[in-house]
Structure 1
């Protein structure tokens, strides 16, 4: 049986091997699975002498790029990317994603939107039929600190469930994103909602900066499985 960490590595390595070519400008996502993708990229740069440029989606991914001696850039210099490789908290049967468990949803969505294709890498625990089936921490919504209470109340009134302000672990008070905002985690929602409609609605609310719903964005997902295989979903 393959461990969760082993499954992450399998998915990341296969995605990098299948999709990365020399000369590519690559969006580097955030999270634990992306660590393995960057590791594989560094191996290929060293062993195959490929040339790549990496654009991070967070402070964490920026540090990964630097630590592995990869070429670091940003969207000011490389505004059009060939590909973005990123993880997900959950992927449904239609390749809709929940992202933002690490609080990087805004930058992740911006970088993904500047890429020709978004490739998701994950372990088998992230593969679901419906959003919310396995991932119970909620859909992250990045909000302006000024507006978190009105948005929380409106969300719970219109769509039910519970919107919880994400609190920091080793700091008093709420989590603050790289952009200086708060995160509401929307839990116990109706799994049968039209996620495209919900996402379009929420993003129009004053004070909502971005949602962790990535709809019609991913082209393909790689899941490392318990038996050591890799499941590919298109």
Structure 2
């Protein structure tokens, strides 16, 4: 089974099994797997009743392209359900997100949602943050403070690097909110240490948000390589 088919299976199943008839306000995340979530939403007979809240410019485009109604998080601070992808998922459904530099808006929408559902393919479900995702924890920072934040990250044992835009643009990546992203490698992070690490990162002045999503996801839909589907639920013990 191809990776794309695995993503499609996870995206469709997440919508079919979690979207209640009473749900009207839908959070729409970012990334390649979310393409199939929005595609499925666009196929529903009730699509005209839904208002979709994007987490990024990419999500906004997907919503419009699938002829869904567009809303914003400042209009709707109570979201019935939100769907999003992940860069890595651990055994307690803690996540690393932000590989696409949308972490602040993604976490804002997830925090407004009554139910937050993750969709991903098998490569992301490693059971341990930092195991296969070696790019580090994304951290969105105010541009004025990035050097100070880098110093602080080194002092707590991280290996930080300002994310550069690459060949398409000279200089750093700039988020949809006008901020910089620092990727900080902490190695493998055990599930019982993710929350404390997130707290340390938030204590640094200049940090707007981190790509550690701690205890937010209720379920994860994982499209497996063999064509099967794994559904993981949030553990009661974090």
**Would you call these one fold, judging by a TM-score over 0.5?**
yes
Report runs of 4+ in structure 1 exceeding 3 Å deviation: none
Deviation at 1:51, TM superposition (A): 2.2
8 A contact 1:23–1:52 mirrored in 2: no
- Calculate the TM-score normalised by the size of structure 1: 0.94
User: CA distance change for structure 1 residues 49 and 155 in 2, over 3 Å: closer, same or farther?
Assistant: closer
Deviation at 1:205, TM superposition (A): 1.5
8 A contact 2:128–2:189 mirrored in 1: yes
User: CA distance change for structure 1 residues 17 and 112 in 2, over 3 Å: closer, same or farther?
Assistant: same
Q: How does 1:200-219 map to 2 (within 5 A)?
A: 200-219=199-218
Deviation at 1:49, TM superposition (A): 5.9
Unaligned runs of 5+ residues in structure 1 are none
8 A contact 1:81–1:115 mirrored in 2: yes
Q: How does 1:153-192 map to 2 (within 5 A)?
A: 153-160=151-158, 162-169=159-166, 170-192=168-190
Unaligned runs of 5+ residues in structure 2 are 234-238
Which stretch has the larger CA shift, 22-31 or 210-219?
22-31
User: CA distance change for structure 1 residues 189 and 156 in 2, over 3 Å: closer, same or farther?
Assistant: farther
Q: 2:113 aligns with which of 94, 112, 115?
A: 115
8 A contact 1:53–1:71 mirrored in 2: yes
Distance of 1:21 and 1:165 partners within structure 2? 41
Distance of 1:21 and 1:50 partners within structure 2? 15
8 A contact 1:82–1:115 mirrored in 2: yes
8 A contact 1:42–1:69 mirrored in 2: yes
Q: 1:75 aligns with which of 73, 76, 85?
A: 73
Which stretch has the larger CA shift, 193-202 or 113-122?
193-202
CA RMSD of aligned residues (A): 1.4
Deviation at 1:190, TM superposition (A): 4.5
Q: Could you tell me which residue of structure 2 aligns to residue 62 of structure 1?
A: 60
Secondary structure of the residue that 1:54 maps to in structure 2?
A: strand
Deviation at 1:75, TM superposition (A): 2.0
Secondary structure of the residue that 1:196 maps to in structure 2?
A: helix
Q: How does 1:212-231 map to 2 (within 5 A)?
A: 212-231=211-230
Across the two proteins, how many residue pairs are aligned to each other? 230
Q: Could you tell me which residue of structure 2 aligns to residue 7 of structure 1?
A: 6
User: CA distance change for structure 1 residues 229 and 205 in 2, over 3 Å: closer, same or farther?
Assistant: same
Distance of 2:183 and 2:15 partners within structure 1? 31
Distance of 2:161 and 2:28 partners within structure 1? 28
8 A contact 1:9–1:36 mirrored in 2: yes
Q: Could you tell me which residue of structure 2 aligns to residue 96 of structure 1?
A: 94
8 A contact 2:101–2:181 mirrored in 1: yes
Distance of 1:210 and 1:14 partners within structure 2? 30
